[in-house]
Amino acid sequence: MTDSPEYLKKRAFFDSLLTIYGRKPVLEALEDSSLPVHKLHLAESNRKDQLISRIEQLAEERNIQVAHWDRKGLSRISKNAKQDQGVALDLALPKYGSADTFLKECRGKHFELLALDGITNPQNLGMIVRSACAGGIDGILLPKKGCAQIDPLVIKASVGTLFKTRILRCDQLAPVLQKFAEQGARVCALSSHAQDTLGTLDTSAPTVFVLGNETHGVSSAVEKSCTHKIRIPMKNDVESLNVAITAALISFRHQF
Amino acid sequence: MTDSPEYLKKRAFFDSLLTIYGRKPVLEALEDSSLPVHKLHLAESNRKDQLISRIEQLAEERNIQVAHWDRKGLSRISKNAKQDQGVALDLALPKYGSADTFLKECRGKHFELLALDGITNPQNLGMIVRSACAGGIDGILLPKKGCAQIDPLVIKASVGTLFKTRILRCDQLAPVLQKFAEQGARVCALSSHAQDTLGTLDTSAPTVFVLGNETHGVSSAVEKSCTHKIRIPMKNDVESLNVAITAALISFRHQF
């Protein structure tokens, strides 16, 4: 392995691939011509039912590369043998990348990111993406562990904004947030118990806003990597907001 | 009919009643001890199944008044004979009232209201209530025609905030908005095509913000009663926001 320009380019391309699986989700993705598809993967053992025939037909119509695998080979691609139903699809999302790459690129620059900790509801994830994109957030840190992953439900709930939003993947959130803090970013956990409020935050430093699970808030492991805690002031003794609402208030706050 | 103080008090009490129906919704409402219940209505024809027995048991435990009716009498209360399943429940919501009463009270005062036009998704309605309450909106105009109505789903999605939020009922939105405009309020339709933006709005006049259906926007009938059109500026060519997100940005805009 080498960091040659060619390697980096290839690496960036593979980072941009999002693999979805299951017959219905793959069919729906193929039917949406706005989705940039890279490759369709099929298990050789698939019985040709109506869904599979339609999937093959759409792949042919859209001139999409098809790879055939034995069950084991397909599981390696879907990473979910139990639920892939013998079908996987690589989407090539232009703004889908890794947190590590962004960490290298962002040195010395100003940015505002959202980091998601334990956001398990796909509807909320899609709404967060939509609001963050419209509000001008520079990217969303999405860990593989503990969060809903991008699937057709999330794509739908994002109303097309997923392809315009920089999604930065990582395995776990805490170590990545620590790296951001070491590079001088302010890492702010949203917490209803915080003393400081969002409105008083000085906006000159690059900032990562950490949004936690709606019921349990930011996890203690992740909170340890945060440098600040802030809250959104609420009236009428309301205790919490929907996490997508919180994401929107953060993303749009410069506009008011 | 007379407008004596006693009549007005009685009238205000009946305005505050929200009747829900159906065995499951009524049971769930009775199980939530934070819900202020006025009266339980049962059809005499009800077969005693498990749900009905549990409903009767909870009413007894909570010392709630029970009225028994023939099927016709119950339909008059539920206003939905097809779906009431022989059960209705009056909730006495302290902040549930009529738009007409508010119109009389608000003369010469400053206020900010949300008016909902064609919001059919109960999840969105609940989220709007939650965000508006937390942001300090003075009330929500909810017409009977064309909008989701307050039911257990909405109550759940509002996460307890429905009982802290002034809900102003009316039959149709357009004539009520016209009255607000005649009394000097600014009635602003949210529209992605508007020239003026939310951020530039002068905040001294009492204002009603009109939120339309997510797909179709504010209806043309309602738009005719509006005195202004505004939009929320969006980045990355995003075309629209979820309506609950829009409600939150309006409600919280003074805080940033």
Give per-residue pLDDT as tens, A115-141. 999 999 999 999 999 999 999 999 999
Same domain, B188 and B136: yes
Give the three-class secondary structure for A104.
Answer: helix
What residues does B186 pair with on adjacent strands?
B207
Six-digit token string for A125? 């994830």
What is the rounded CA–CA span in Å between residue A140 and residue B26? Answer: 41
Q: What does the mean pLDDT of chain A come to?
A: 92
Residue B220: which residues within 8 A CB-CB, separation 6 or more?
Answer: none
Number of domains in chain B: 2
Minimal CA–CA distance to A253: which of B203, B256, B196?
B256
Please give the C-alpha separations between residue B178 and each of B103, B145, B182, B218, B226, in angstroms, as whole numbers: 11, 17, 6, 15, 7
Q: Do A165 and B245 count as a contact with CB atoms less than 8 A apart?
A: no
Chain A partners of B240 at a C-beta cutoff of 8 Å?
159
Average pLDDT over residues A51-75: 96
Look at residue B10 and tell me if it is in a domain: no
Looking from the CA of A167 toward its CB, the CA atoms found within 13 Å total 26
User: Is the separation of the CB atoms in A218 and A191 below 8 Å?
Assistant: yes
Residues B132 and B203 in one domain: yes
Find where tokens 């959130």 sit: A173
Domain encompassing residue A24: 17-92
Q: Maximum Cα–Cα distance for chain A, whole Å?
A: 60
Asked if residue A160 and residue A116 are part of one domain, the reply reads yes
Q: Mark yes or no for CB contact A127/B255 under 8 Å.
A: no
Minimal-distance CA residue of chain A relative to B232: A255
A10 within some domain: no
This complex has an ipTM of: 0.84
Judge: B131–A245 Cβ closer than 8 Å, yes or no.
yes
Q: Are residues A103 and A198 in the same domain?
A: yes
Q: What is the DSSP letter of B89?
A: E
CB atoms within 10 A of CB A131: 30
Same domain, A103 and A66: no
- pLDDT number for residue B215: 86
Show which of A92, A127, A151 is a domain's final residue.
Answer: A92
In the block, tokens 């002031």 appear at A233
Stretches in chain B below the pLDDT threshold 50: none
Asked whether residue B211 falls in the same domain as residue B249, the answer is yes
Same structural domain for residues A161 and A36? no
B197: chain A residues, CB-CB within 8 Å: 255
B-chain CB neighbours of A252 within 8 Å are 232, 249
- Cβ distance B251 to B135 under 8 Å? yes
Q: Are residues B87 and B112 in the same domain?
A: no
**Judgement on whether residues B62 and B137 belong to the same structural domain of the protein:** no
Q: Residue A2's pLDDT band (boundaries 50, 70, 90)?
A: low
pLDDT band at A222 (very low <50, low <70, confident <90, very high): very high
Residue B221 to residue B125: CA distance in whole angstroms: 21
